[in-house]
Amino acid sequence: MTKKISLSILMLVLLTAGIQSQAAKTAITVPLTFDDYYTYGEVVEALKALHQAFPDLTRLDLVGKSDEGRAIYCLTVNNPKTGGELSKPGIYVDGNIHGNEIQAGEVALYMLNYLLTKYGSNDEVTKMVDRNCFYVIPIVNVDGRWHFFNDANDPSSNRGLRRPHDDDNDGLVDEDFPDDLDGDGNITTMRKKDPFGRFKTDPEDPRLMIPVKPGELGEWTMLGPEGLDNDGDGRVNEDSEGYVDGNRNWGFDWMPNYVQMGAGDYPFSGVGLKAISEYIMQRPNICVAYAMHNTGGMYLRGPSQKHLGEYPPQDIAVYDYLGKQAERMLPGYNYMIGWKDLYGTYGDFVEWMVGSFGVYGYVIELFQSQTETFKTREEEKRAGPGQEGLSALMNESNTTARERLKFNDNLAMGELYKPWKPYQHPTYGEVEIGGWIKFSSRMSAPFMIKDLVHRNAMAILFAAKHTPQVTLEAFEVKRLEKDLYRVRTRLVNSKAIPTMSTYAQSKKLYPKDMLRVSGKDARVLAGGTLIDKYRDQVAYQEHRPEVQFLVVPGFGKVEHQFLISGKGSVTLNYESRWAGKISKTVELK
Q: What is the pLDDT along the chain (589 residues), one digit of tens a residue?
A: 443 444 344 344 434 444 343 343 458 999 999 999 999 999 999 999 999 999 999 999 999 999 999 999 999 999 999 999 999 999 999 999 999 999 999 999 999 999 999 999 999 999 999 999 999 999 999 999 999 999 999 999 999 999 988 887 888 888 888 999 999 999 999 999 999 999 999 999 999 999 999 999 999 999 999 999 888 888 888 888 888 999 999 999 999 999 999 999 999 999 999 999 999 999 999 999 999 999 999 999 999 999 999 999 999 999 999 999 999 999 999 999 999 999 999 999 999 999 999 999 999 999 998 899 898 888 887 776 555 544 544 456 788 899 999 999 999 999 999 999 999 999 999 999 999 999 999 999 999 999 999 999 999 999 999 999 999 999 999 999 999 999 999 999 999 999 999 999 999 999 999 999 999 999 999 999 999 999 999 999 999 999 999 999 999 999 999 999 999 999 999 999 999 999 999 999 8
Between strands 334-337 and 298-301, the pairing is parallel
* pLDDT value of position 8: 45
> Would you identify the CATH topology of the domain 470-588?
Immunoglobulin-like (2.60.40)
Q: What is the pTM of this model?
A: 0.92
* pLDDT value of position 26: 56
* pLDDT value of position 141: 98
Q: Where in the chain is the domain with CATH 2.60.40.10?
A: 470-588
Strand partners, 563: 486, 526
* pLDDT value of position 175: 85
Half-sphere exposure of 87 (CA within 13 A, CB side): 12
Residue 113: closest CA among 32, 26, 27: 32
Q: Where in the chain is the domain with CATH 3.40.630.10?
A: 31-147+244-369+446-462
* pLDDT value of position 480: 95
With H, G, I as helix, E, B as strand and everything else as coil, classify residue 93.
strand
Asked if CATH classification 3.90.70.10 holds for the domain at 31-147+244-369+446-462, the reply, yes or no, is no
Q: What is the dihedral of CA 10, 11, 12, 15, to 10 degrees?
A: 120
Sheet order of strands, 286-295 included: 58-65, 71-77, 133-137, 90-95, 286-295, 360-367, 298-301, 334-337
